[in-house]
Structure 1
Amino acid sequence: MNLSPTVKTVLVMALVLTSVLAGGCLREYDTTNLQINNVDISADIIDDDIVQLDIISYVTNKGKDSGEVDIQAKAYNLDTSLLMADERISMGRIGKDKTQNGTVELQVPITGNYRIEVTMYEDGGQVSSGKATISGLESLLSSPKHSYISIRDVDASMTTRGDTTTTLKVTAFLDNYGRSDSAPLTALVKLRDAKTNLIGQSGNINIGVVKADTTVVKDIELEVAKDRDYRVEIMIFENDRIITEYGVSFFMAPDSQGDENVVKKTSSVSTTETISTEWIMPTPERAPYEDVYKTGDYPNAAPGFSVWLGIGGLLAVALLLRKRK
């Protein structure tokens, strides 16, 4: 098939135009895929009032090499929502399929509980964020700044003995190991029958305020049925909360096999919780399909010639040239 030079030129131009326009219709954008996998929080005491929180963020890039990555951490007081500390660090560029970690140091008062917010940026734009909570920092101190009440010991003695009843005197020894005075305390004392598990008698002791680094002795007399075995149970309340408990068994029944005042059980609870953290990463929203490959903002395509319209125009030119011949 013999083609004129003009037709050949038009066909070559059509092929070039087709490849150019078709390539433009198949735009695909390489992109980074940065994710904060996890956040660890450690704490170091600076002094009695300040603690340094090390916020360690682990960032993975599952896409192309990233731009400049920054990590920002903020600490908010859980009770007041006030911002207590704010720092930002640079992690540089993160390569494809690489994981890096960066540490942000925040110094906050040791007496508070905090919400930690972590935000990741790439080239100045926010990529993702998450949050964690931390509480109980005071437990890092060897001697807590708050009150710390413990029951050292409990004694039980018989004061009177009647035909059917016995009066027992229960004495409790309480220590405050903290560095501040306690709130007003009360104690609930129960005498529980060892066989029936029923409460034989109970009463309350108004302990009051226990000064820092001191020991107080409080007692109460309770009347119970004689010649029976009992367990003494003591609960210490601070602001309607049990902060420590103590139990001791003693034996008065003639047929008892146990030794007197030998079975003891105690537990103590600080008025500050132990340190706890929880990292929460919000679930990202799924991007629209047409934006999956985009790395930035792109304008909508402007109206113009499609591939086939361009080819049709070239063929029309070729036919006109042939007619002129």
Structure 2
Amino acid sequence: MNVERALLTAAAALVALAVIAAFAAPGAVAPPEPDRQPSYVEYTEMTVSPAAVAGDTATLEVTNYLTHDGGPARNVTVRTRAVDTDTGFVATSERVSLGTLTSTGEHETTSNLTVERDGGYRLETTVYENGSRVASGHRTVRGVGTLLPDYARSPVRFHEFDGGAIPTVRVGVSDAGEERTTLDVGAYVTNAGGESEPVRVEYVARQAESNLVADRATVDIADVASGRTVTPNATLDVPAGYNYYVDAVLWKDGVIIDTTTAAANLDPTRTISVNQTRASVGLDVGEFEGGTVRTPTTTSTASGGSPGFGVPVALAALGAVGLLARRWSA
């Protein structure tokens, strides 16, 4: 009995000391924390625009919009990823931290996703609060491959007439001889409204059935004023009696920014058009020998030189003609 009484006395003493210590230490006993107001985070919208376009890649600027209401939303992060619509593979992803959201209303965050400049992508966004998913959204973009690279952007282009009633490249004959014909060519080049830029136009005459280059010339344009159209002219000397495609190539700082093609019918027995299927004809390669193809120059007029094809090209074409002749005789 004495032992039990001693144990009870010691326990009572310990309880009394604990109570005294609790009240003696300031703040040792605090009132219970009131319930924290719940937070509400919703995903509302996504906007997408190209930020930068290179030759092989494109950087998409993805802006996500969120709305917050209620109490503070702690440790909010936004993950955006680009999924290839053809393969289903994740091309790239980016995570952005917004920290703690205290103010109610709309919040936005931007991610830059660099993807291959090809096909389409499904852009998926997931919002996390303290590591838990609370909202999500998505959007699909297509035709990424059609985005024009930054290095090829220019307000200067070949002018396209409504309905195609007027050809962009006009071709005339300035001198018609028995063996050679001089073509007078020109293209309509328009600055749609940007700053003035220097460009270069290259004209190439291709024999329609063989694609052999008969002649080429270049014209440098030092200035195309905003909203103005210029028509740089050049001459091409080609063998007579054949039909040709006249290609016009627009260059800026060594980069092709536009192309167009016209047809020149010099064969009285048949005609061609730009979209016409090629047909086999008798080709006298010898008429294309004896000269060098004119190469691009930096002069302001069409470059000079002797027209025609080089001997190696002529020999290759002669072999092709021999194969055609063997087929016809078979």
TM-score between the two structures when normalised by the length of structure 1: 0.41
Q: Which has the higher contact order (CA 8 A, sep 6+)?
A: 1
TM-score between the two structures when normalised by the length of structure 2: 0.41
